[in-house]
Amino acid sequence: MNEINQPIDIYTGVITIPGARYFPEGVTAAPDGTFFVGSMYEGCILRAPAGSGLMEPFIPSGSNGLVSVLGLWADQARNTLWACSSDAGNGRLTGSAPVGVKAFDLQTGAPKGSYDFPGGGFANDLTFDEQGNLYVTDSWTPRILRLPAGGSTLEEWINDPQLGVEQWSLNGIDFDRTGRSIYTVNQRAGLLFRIAIQPDGSAGSPILIQTSQELRRPDGLKVIGPHTLATAEGGAGGMAVIAVDGDTARVRRIPAVLDGVTTFAYYRGSAWVVEGQSDHFWDPAHAGPDADPPFRIVKVSLD
């Protein structure tokens, strides 16, 4: 299996994110084309109405206990916007609330629910299976938590050292309907795993997928077709498309020359990649306390 790098013209769609200290991370798109993005520093969520190229205020800073906003999911079926809220220690609201998953009305932004991580941790990204069970990665421990459909408490679905015992390991996650399994990436090690959902709902043993090349700080993960995944690569400034064949996979890299890629939304066949300038957020001594605005979400073709 050989690497294929495919440079492309990315400037076919841009959503601008205002503010010098916003530092966007999580992003999601509703079916009508409304985009939502969360702030690592401010602990708030912005919205770009369908067809707009500019974000506007939607959920205020700290609402429902938000601290730093990471993974987002626009859940049209339940009229809910789900958000991972974590505390990296350097956001404006650090120390103000427990880590967990927050739920808001998708139309109004009104709080609908709050689900704390048992034992703490770092909520990073989330997905749903076809039965409405929510799965969320913990970047500080090798575990994935699960909120049963209609439930009120997050529970540990899997905790396995194979997934990575160092902090900042588990990141993106998505459900594969075809194989009825969960895919997830280890950001630090550049690894991809598949975990079967057993008939009783429990987790099978993690399977390490042997990729044609190491993923470069994979951040965010989506199943975009049969046996096909996509991930943003913070270490490469673009995207990677992953064609899975059993327990192996071929990686096709799509450079986009973006600054501080965090994650992406998958909308109408394209990746909408967050240019979060994250080096300024995580290492201000290296890059200065403020980024070089504007922050952006950039459309990247996956063809």
Q: Tens-of-pLDDT digits for all 303 residues of the chain?
A: 333 443 333 345 899 998 888 999 999 999 999 999 999 999 999 999 998 888 999 999 999 999 999 999 999 999 999 999 999 898 999 999 999 999 999 999 999 999 999 999 999 999 999 999 999 999 999 999 999 999 999 999 999 999 999 999 999 999 999 999 999 999 999 999 999 999 999 999 999 999 999 999 999 999 999 999 999 999 898 999 999 999 999 999 999 989 889 999 999 999 999 999 877 777 755 445 566 778 999 999 998
Evaluate whether 243 touches 196 at the Cβ level (below 8 Å).
no
The DSSP symbol for 294 reads: P
In the prediction, which pLDDT does 51 show?
Answer: 86
Domain range annotation of the chain: 4-301
Architecture of domain 4-301: 6 Propeller (2.120)
Provide CB contacts within 8 A for 295, sequence distance 6+.
16, 17, 18, 19, 22, 23, 24, 274, 275, 276, 277
Query: What per-residue confidence (pLDDT) applies to 21?
Result: 86
Q: Which two tokens stand for residue 219?
A: 């951040």
Nearest to 228 by CA among 303, 140, 123, 131: 303
- Rounded to whole angstroms, what are the CA distances from 26 to 86, 113, 148, 169? 12, 19, 22, 17
- Cis peptide bond prior to 60, omega within 30° of 0: no
pLDDT of residue 1: 36
* Residue pair 197/180 in contact by the 8 Å Cβ criterion: yes
CA distance 232 to 253: 10
Residue 64 is classified by DSSP as G
